[in-house]
Amino acid sequence: MPQGTTEIPLKQQVLHENQRIAERLRNRYRDANLLCVNMISAPGSGKTSLLEKTLEILGDEASPLRVAVLTGDVQTDNDARRLARYGYPVKQITTGGCCHLDGSMIERHLADWDLSILDILFIENVGNLVCPASYDLGEHDKIVLLSVTEGEDKPLKYPSIFHKASLFLMTKVDLLGLVPFDALVAEQNAARIHDGIEVIRCSAVSYHGMEDWIRWLKKRLHAVRANNCRETVTH
């Protein structure tokens, strides 16, 4: 090293500020005893459509779960308007050009919400398969959606999100047979990046797989609450 040169250790996450906010959000979700899922996909893979059908099904149940949606978009509030029809609280986050949601956007939009009345908080991220993967929103689960019109190789091309997601929702499976897409190969590719990732094949048109998806949500909600309960006992 040349004279007068000093190496200063930084040892700091580039996203440490977002990480700090995510920690605060995690605490809020835990205090509210709710499940938060962060839904991530490329533009148009069917996030809003799936959420519409999810709200419709949940609303028809005998004792409906209490849910709410934050939906991110670069420009419009179309998605929020589509989702608001089901009578649940919905808020649009318009990022004004930003390609992902970050912790501070979530915190700002949740500021005046009483989370304690909720069972599940859905976050629909901005349509983008790369950038949202880097931003922790304090969620319990990242969920990646890939539609059958996008190609089986996408888990290999966008490994980060498949690595971090606990569930892979293969969407638009009503189109299988109409498009040359090998669902098994797509699942194998996802497993190469994330051994043991859960997969549900679903469709917002035919309702195929919707029961499995709702069951998955309830299973996760129970698991999160059981875990919160254990933590309360041990603390």
Ligand X SMILES: Nc1nc2c(ncn2[C@@H]2O[C@H](COP(=O)(O)OP(=O)(O)OP(=O)(O)O)[C@@H](O)[C@H]2O)c(=O)[nH]1
Residues forming contacts to another protein in the complex (CB under 8 A) are 2-15, 17, 98-100, 102, 130-131, 133-135, 156-161, 163-164, 191-193, 195
Q: Which two tokens stand for residue 73?
A: 């978009």
Q: Which helix (H) or strand (E) holds 67?
A: strand 67-73
Q: Using CB under 6 A, which of 18, 48, 54, 189 touches ligand X? A: 48
The site partner of 203 among another protein, Mg ion, ligand X, none (C-beta below 5 to 8 Å per kind) is ligand X
Residues of span 113-132 touching ligand X by CB under 6 A: 127
- Give the per-residue SS3 of 85-117: CCCCCEEEEECCCCCCCCHHHHHHHHCCCCHHH
Q: Using CB under 5 A, which of 28, 47, 154, 164 touches Mg ion? A: 47
Nearer to ligand X by C-beta: 99 or 175?
175
Q: Which two tokens stand for residue 92?
A: 């649009």
CB of 226 to ligand X, least distance (A): 31
CB of 140 to another protein, least distance (A): 18
Select from 41-49, 58-66, 104-112, 211-219 the region that touches ligand X (CB under 6 A).
Answer: 41-49
Q: Does 154 bind ligand X (CB under 6 A)?
A: no
CB of 30 to another protein, least distance (A): 23
Residue in 19, 41, 30 with CA at minimum distance from that of residue 235: 30
Q: Helix or strand or coil: residue 23?
A: helix
Nearer to ligand X by C-beta: 77 or 174?
174
Q: Which helix (H) or strand (E) holds 169?
A: strand 167-171
CB of 174 to another protein, least distance (A): 29
Would you say the C-alpha torsion 27, 31, 37, 43 has a positive or negative sign? negative
Gyration radius of the chain's alpha carbons: 19
Which residue in the shown chain puts its C-beta closest to Mg ion? 48
The site partner of 41 among another protein, Mg ion, ligand X, none (C-beta below 5 to 8 Å per kind) is ligand X
Q: Does 171 bind ligand X (CB under 6 A)?
A: yes
The site partner of 44 among ligand X, another protein, Mg ion, none (C-beta below 5 to 8 Å per kind) is ligand X
Distance CA 132, CA 40 (A): 7
Judge residue 80's burial from the number of C-beta atoms within 10 Å of its C-beta, 0-12 exposed, 13-18 middle, 19 or more buried: buried
